[in-house]
Amino acid sequence: MPVIHMRVNGNPVSGEVEARTLLVQFLRDDLRLTGTHVGCDTSQCGACVVHVDGKSVKSCTMLAIMANDCEVMTIEGLANGSELHPMQQAFMDNHGLQCGFCTPGMVMSALDIVERNGNDLDEATIRKELTGNICRCTGYHNIVKAVKAGARAMGD
């Protein structure tokens, strides 16, 4: 079985995986980083979004071996000790989550949206950019507010 190496949330990790192992399986089952979730198997729901070399990726649709030698960031890597990342804080302040299952993917996608669109986001842009992440609880209203507030806070 192939042996792979990557940095996850800044820490060097390695593991022996079957070639068919998905990145999300490696993160969840081998590294026990269970903050990244699986909500579907067709790249639709976005619960599994992580960043690979700074780009947002649906980790259910990428083989673990494809992330060999890459820099991977998951939801577990965002907070600075007990201090939440501004985007995480914005989700809390704006009630941008209910059951919490889609939340890690939402936050990781939100960071990618800010990366590509800047800190001053309008509602239409946020809604369009979030279509790759499905939430059944919130009706998106407060997620949109959270992303807008989080983006602004990241610029401060």
Smallest distance from the beta carbon of 96 to other proteins, in angstroms?
9
By rule CB under 8 A, what string of x and - marks binding of each residue 109-138 to other proteins?
A: --------------x--xxx-xx-xxxxxx
Choosing from 6, 8, 24, 37, the residue that interacts with other proteins (CB under 8 A) is 37
**59 touching other proteins, by CB under 8 A:** no
Would you say 145 and 106 are in contact if contact means Cβ atoms under 8 Å apart? no
**11 touching other proteins, by CB under 8 A:** no
Instruction: Give the residue from 127, 117, 102, 124 showing the smallest Cα distance to 152.
Output: 117
Residue for token digits 């590294």?
A: 31
Instruction: Please report how many Cα atoms fall inside a 13 Å half-sphere around the Cα of residue 71, on the Cβ side.
Output: 5
Residue 25 CB-density burial (10 A; 0-12 exposed, 13-18 middle, 19+ buried): middle
**155 touching other proteins, by CB under 8 A:** no
Would you say 96 and 106 are in contact if contact means Cβ atoms under 8 Å apart? yes
Binding part of the chain for other proteins, among 27-35, 51-59, 65-73, 114-122 by CB under 8 A, reads 27-35
Question: For binding to other proteins (CB under 8 A), which residues are involved?
Answer: 18, 20, 28-29, 32-42, 44-45, 47, 74-76, 78-79, 84, 88, 91-93, 95, 97-104, 107, 123, 126-128, 130-131, 133-145
